[in-house]
Structure 1
Amino acid sequence: MATTTPAEPAALEPVPGTGAGRAVPATLSRVWHRHPVLFSQLRGFGVVAVICTVVSILIFAAIRQPLGTQWANAISLVLCSVLNTELNRRISFGVRGMHLWWRDQRRGLWVMLLALAMTSGSLWVLHEVSPNASIVAELVVITLGNVASAVMRFLLLRYWIFRRLRKRELAAV
Structure 2
Amino acid sequence: MATTTPAEPAALEPVPATANGGTMRAALSRFWQRHPLLYSQLRGFGVVAVICTAVSMLIFAALRHPMGTQWANAISLVLCSVLNTELNRRISFGVHGMHLWWRDQRRGLWVMLLALAMTSGSLWLLHEVSPKASIVSELVVITLGNVASAVMRFVLLRYWIFRRLRRPVPAPA
Could you state the TM-score of these two structures normalised by the residue count of structure 2?
0.85
Q: Which residue matches 2:43?
A: 43
Corresponding pairs, count: 153
Q: Is the 8 A contact 2:119 2:146 kept in 1?
A: yes
Q: Which residue matches 1:80?
A: 80
Q: Distance in 2 between matches of 1:152 and 1:15?
A: 29
Q: Distance in 2 between matches of 1:85 and 1:42?
A: 14
AA aligned to 2:92 is S
Offset of residue 167 of structure 1: 1.2
Q: Distance in 2 between matches of 1:74 and 1:168?
A: 38
Q: Distance in 1 between matches of 2:92 and 2:128?
A: 38
Q: Which residue matches 1:128?
A: 128
AA aligned to 2:144 is L
Structural RMSD (CA): 1.8
Please list the CA deviations of residues 128-162 of structure 1 after superposition, one character each: whole Å capped at 9, or x if unmatched.
00000000000000000000000000000000000
Q: Is the 8 A contact 2:81 2:112 kept in 1?
A: yes
* Structure 2 gap segments, 5+ residues each: 1-12, 17-21
Q: Distance in 2 between matches of 1:108 and 1:156?
A: 9
Q: Distance in 1 between matches of 2:65 and 2:92?
A: 34
SS at match of 1:97: coil
Q: Which residue matches 1:63?
A: 63
AA aligned to 2:134 is S
Q: Is the 8 A contact 2:14 2:29 kept in 1?
A: no
Q: Which residue matches 1:144?
A: 144
Q: Distance in 2 between matches of 1:63 and 1:168?
A: 45
Offset of residue 43 of structure 1: 0.1
Larger radius of gyration, structure 1 or 2? 1
Offset of residue 14 of structure 1: 6.0
Please list the CA deviations of residues 27-82 of structure 1 after superposition, one character each: whole Å capped at 9, or x if unmatched.
10111010000000000000000000000000000010000000000000000000
* Structure 1 gap segments, 5+ residues each: 1-12, 17-22
AA aligned to 2:167 is K
Q: Distance in 2 between matches of 1:93 and 1:41?
A: 6
Q: Which residue matches 1:27?
A: 27
AA aligned to 1:33 is Q
Offset of residue 168 of structure 1: 2.6
Ranked by relative contact order (alpha carbons within 8 Å, sequence separation 6 or more), the top structure is 2
Could you state the TM-score of these two structures normalised by the residue count of structure 1?
0.85
SS at match of 1:25: helix
Identity of aligned residues (%): 86
SS at match of 2:168: helix
AA aligned to 1:61 is A
